[in-house]
Amino acid sequence: MILRLFSLLVGVYAIGFILFAVSLGRPAPEDEVADAAVVLTGGSGRIEQGIERLEQQRVDKLLIAGADPLVTQADLVEVTGGREGLFDCCITIGSESVDTRTNAEEAKAWIEANDIDEIALVTSDWHMRRAAFEFRAALGEEVVIIEDAVPTEPSLLILFSEYNKYVLRRIGIWAGL
């Protein structure tokens, strides 16, 4: 009986991983607009995609959440091709968060301070499911979240690691941790 239950759990876990791996996040449709975008640092193309959404006027404001405290606005202006005007008017650099859960908390404070009702969440395709889960847990139903994933080619190791983090975090929230 125990062996059958264990086999069932392993089978459910394996099927879950396969579904996770073949249904990664996708970029938001071109006609999607939001009040603001929240970009989670930590992967290539994320900040660039967030700034692109701002330039396309698909969002009015942008929070770059989880930036290293040593990164300055001048550093990001240089890296993003000299878009200083956008940083002056519309981009906030947040450096209070260190992981996906605290990204959501940092974003929540910024969203409340800026009276935002709808965000585009920008992160890597393999990270989107867990990031959206954390943001929905932090923001509740008050804020609409549009998933706007950056396409990547993740390795099997990245997918496996991210799937485990996602499963463990869901269990943690379910258990009240």
Topology of the domain covering 25-153: Rossmann fold (3.40.50)
- For 102-151, the pLDDT digits (tens) are 999 999 999 999 999 999 999 999 999 999 999 999 999 999 999 999 99
d(CA 42, CA 92): 16
Q: What is the pTM of this model?
A: 0.91
d(CA 66, CA 21): 25
Q: What are the CA-CA distances from residue 121 to residues 2, 145, 155 (Å)?
A: 42, 7, 22
Domain range annotation of the chain: 25-153
d(CA 7, CA 11): 6
Taking only the tens of pLDDT, the chain with its 177 residues reads 898 999 999 999 999 999 999 999 999 999 999 999 999 998 889 999 999 999 999 999 999 999 988 888 888 888 777 677 787 889 999 998 999 999 999 999 999 999 999 999 999 999 999 999 999 999 999 999 999 999 999 999 999 999 999 999 999 988 877
pLDDT confidence of residue 7: 93
pLDDT confidence of residue 93: 92
